[in-house]
Amino acid sequence: MQEGAAIRVWLLFMLVGSTAGAQHVAAQSDIAFPREVYAERRGRLVELLRAPVVVPSEYMIRAGGAKRQDSNFFYLTGVESPYAILVIAPDGEGGVRERLFLPAHRELAGAQYSFQDPRLLDAAWNRLIRRLEPGEFAEAATGIAETYPLDDFAEQLSAVVATARQVFFAKETAALYAPPGLGAPLTLRQQLEASVSESLGGRALLDATPAIERMRVIKDSYEISALRRAAEVSAQGLLEAMRRIEPGMNDLEVVGIMEWAWKRGGSPRAAFVPIVASGPDAVSLFTIRSENYNSVNRVMQDGDLVFIDYGAAEWAMYGSDICRTFPVSGRFTDEQERLYEIVLEAQQAAIATVRPGATILEAIRAAAAVYQNHGLEANEDIDRMGADHVWG
């Protein structure tokens, strides 16, 4: 296969094969933070890696059809447009040369018609609103001086990597499931990675994702503001649910109440699918409970506790996570109140450890110590299970 041909095949597949899910794009010309914020991040990444970096977008389809940009791509560009690719590299003069590749106008609309069909191109319903396309508008919106159609990616990449000793790619760590004995299918990003690697003539394609994720650990003032607003809108949803919940409601009604509240607050989507479980369902791990065909939408009874874990609102692509348990009837029993006070004590112990330089494990160990002092969580072992798998 000729140089760049594999990349062009991947791009064609991405554009044609993905058109059905690309008809709704929301406010993608509205860059969340000042352009200078993203430019500083891109410059810092090139300074860290000192080599060309390819960062593809990934338009993920969430539950209910909600669409969301890849977090690392958004962190570097502020762009929500689907199927875009960022290429940044040292310019040889101590600066950074930046290129953003975007779908051309109308390129993703109406897969049932030929892209060259004039009826498609002239149709009133085929006029995309607020989607970035190559040209002056995208350059002004993003602060990236060079924007190109996706069709130019292979040729431009060849020029970028021609003299580079190493090249980085923001790789995807997740793998699609395949039954034992069968290879897992590649995602679109993994297909692009393979094509870029093929174009390097034997040079290794290194992973930029760890460097980007290290940068993202420390939040700037804009990110903190977005996180605060996401938490505020999420709290509105939880409080609305607490006010309205009563015996006879089912779990999904509570989800609907919270969703109404956070959408009313201006959030476009949940950070993850809300988990609402009442009564005996509340003590099962949600991933296990979801596999029980008759235990996914229980009607709540007087005396039940309801467990809610939801990262309700996203705000400017930053999400929140709130977890609370409270009585359906509005009043704890004596035993429920005793357990609630233990959980509150554990929460306060964890919060007390939070300071610059502290680790997540320190907070979890503090909470775990409270539970164990009260004779609870005997099977929890942080060192064996890992921080993310210890539950309180």
For strands 85-90 and 96-102, give the pairing. antiparallel
Q: Are 198 and 2 in contact (CB under 8 A)?
A: no
The CATH number of domain 219-329, selected from 3.90.230.10, 1.10.150.120, 3.90.1580.10, 3.65.10.10? 3.90.230.10
Q: Which CATH superfamily is domain 5-217 in?
A: Creatinase/prolidase N-terminal domain (3.40.350.10)
- Three-state DSSP class for residue 216: helix
Give residue 221's pLDDT. 94
Which residues, listed in sequence order, are joined to residue 67 by a DSSP beta bridge? 61
Token pair recorded at residue 168: 């980085």
Give residue 11's pLDDT. 45
For strands 167-169 and 53-56, give the pairing. parallel
Q: Dihedral, CA atoms, 21, 178, 198, 174, nearest 10 degrees? A: 70
Give residue 227's pLDDT. 92
Look up the pTM and report it: 0.80
Picking from 319, 347, 351, the residue whose alpha carbon sits closest to that of residue 234 is 319
State the CB neighbour count (10 A cutoff) for residue 205. Answer: 19
pLDDT digits (tens, 9 = 90+) for 26-69: 343 456 789 999 999 999 999 999 999 999 997 655 555 567 78
pLDDT digits (tens, 9 = 90+) for 308-357: 988 766 788 898 888 899 999 999 999 999 999 999 999 999 999 999 99
pLDDT less than 70: residues of the chain: 1-31, 59-66, 105-118, 120-121, 126-130, 173-178, 183-184, 285-296, 312-313, 379-392
Give residue 17's pLDDT. 36
Picking from 109, 132, 155, the residue whose alpha carbon sits closest to that of residue 8 is 155
CATH 3.90.230.10 location in the chain:
219-329
Give residue 16's pLDDT. 37
| Cα distance between residue 193 and residue 54, in whole Å | 9
| Cα distance between residue 76 and residue 41, in whole Å | 6
CATH 3.40.350.10 location in the chain:
5-217
| Cα distance between residue 376 and residue 380, in whole Å | 9
